[in-house]
Amino acid sequence: MNSPKPIDRRRFLSGAVQAASLLALAGCDNLSRSDWFPSLLSNTEKLTRKAQRVLSSRKAMAREYVEADRSAVFPANGNSNPEDADYQAMVNNGFADWKLEIGGLVEKPASFSLAELRQMPSRTQTTRHDCVEGWSAIATWTGVKLGDLLERVRPKPEARFIVFYCADPDEDGQKYYESVDFDEAYHPQTILAYEMNGQALPVPHGAPIRLRIERQLGYKHAKYVMKVEAVESLGTIGGGNGGYWEDQGYEWYAGI
């Protein structure tokens, strides 16, 4: 065999590897910006959701911790003080006039003041908040079970999702919203929390109430919830993907 000298071969190989990696990386970036490839990738979300539903029972409970496990500092991600005049007015009078509206495809639309929510049976849970960025923080949350509220307003049979409309706008004025299916909405740990670590929910964490969806990632846990609506489809709401971050490419099913 007439092999090239080892040094030439080595130079050839390392040159080839470098060229190939650059091409491969540019190729991956092109794929990310194409139409078809992200659409292929997005099938994973359905597969993951179905697989996790098979592996995990509807009522499987997220781990509950003890008070000693609480984070000393619980980061407030996303909006921490909504730049919205109506919201700021509510903060200034201690949410005395705030009412949670529950409507959409329900038999008996209703609205609840903070005092009324506080009088209803409550659930307190010390749970881990897992951010999509990768960090986790633990806090104790007290609130009313979403399932209890839904039983009062009685969703119609055609309703399939519960949507949460929030007070916090982004720089473009687009307000935060989120949605969950009925499995998650009626889960015993799904609460609208008005207390964090035994204190009234602070503004950076979503006063007067925030959603806790303990088996999904942090962006599902909408803060500053103003209105709850039962709907049949998510397609006509916001960007049509079921949530603020979902409209920007994040998965609607955030169980992983």
Partner 1 sequence: MQEQTPNIEPQPERIYRHALPVRIWHWINALSLFILIMTGFQIFNAHPALYWGDRSDRDKPLLAMRAMKAESGEIKGVTTILGHPFDTTGIFGYSGDKVRGFPSWATIPSGKWLSMGRQWHFFFAWILAINVLIYMTYGFGSRHVKKDLVPTGPDLRNIPTAVKDHLLLRHETGEASKRYNVLQKLSYLGVIFGLLPLIVLTGLTMSPTMDAAFPFLLDLFGGRQSARTIHFATCFLFVGFIVVHVSQVILTGFFNNIRSMLTGWFTVQTTGVAHEQSETH
Q: Could you say which residues in the range 71-110 bind partner 1, by CB under 8 A?
A: 71-73, 75
- Tell me the C-alpha distance between 254 and 256, whole Å: 5
Considering the rule CB under 8 A, would residue 227 count as an interface residue with partner 1?
no
Length of the chain: 256
Taking residue 227's Cβ as centre, other Cβ atoms within 10 Å add up to 17
Considering the rule CB under 8 A, would residue 23 count as an interface residue with partner 1?
no
Taking residue 169's Cβ as centre, other Cβ atoms within 10 Å add up to 16
Considering the rule CB under 8 A, would residue 182 count as an interface residue with partner 1?
no
- Tell me the C-alpha distance between 179 and 247, whole Å: 12
Full DSSP string of 125-145: EEEEEE-TTS-EEEEEEEEEE
Compute the least distance from the CB of residue 141 to partner 1, in Å.
15
Q: Which is nearer to partner 1, 17 or 96 (CB)?
A: 17
Q: Could you say which residues in the range 43-72 bind partner 1, by CB under 8 A?
A: 43-45, 47-48, 52, 55-57, 60-63, 65, 69, 71-72
Q: Could you say which residues in the range 132-171 bind partner 1, by CB under 8 A?
A: 132-138
- Angle (CA) 78-184-156 rounded to 5° is 115
Classify strands 136-145 and 161-169 as parallel, antiparallel or unpaired: unpaired
Q: Give strand ranges (E) for 134-239.
A: 136-145, 161-169, 175-181, 191-196, 199-200, 210-212, 225-231
Compute the least distance from the CB of residue 219 to partner 1, in Å.
10
Burial of 58 (0-12, 13-18, 19+ CB in 10 A): exposed
Region binding partner 1 by CB under 8 A among candidate stretches 83-91, 97-105, 203-211, 246-254: 246-254
Considering the rule CB under 8 A, would residue 20 count as an interface residue with partner 1?
no
Region binding partner 1 by CB under 8 A among candidate stretches 32-40, 110-118, 154-162, 204-212: 32-40
Residue selected from 214, 225, 242, 244 as contacting partner 1 according to rule CB under 8 A: 214
Contact at 8 Å (CB) between 209 and 237? no
Region binding partner 1 by CB under 8 A among candidate stretches 107-115, 197-205, 230-238, 241-249: 241-249
Residues lying near partner 1 in the complex (CB under 8 A) are found at 1-3, 6, 9-10, 13, 21, 25, 28-29, 32, 38, 40-45, 47-48, 52, 55-57, 60-63, 65, 69, 71-73, 75, 128, 130-138, 214-217, 245, 248-251, 255-256
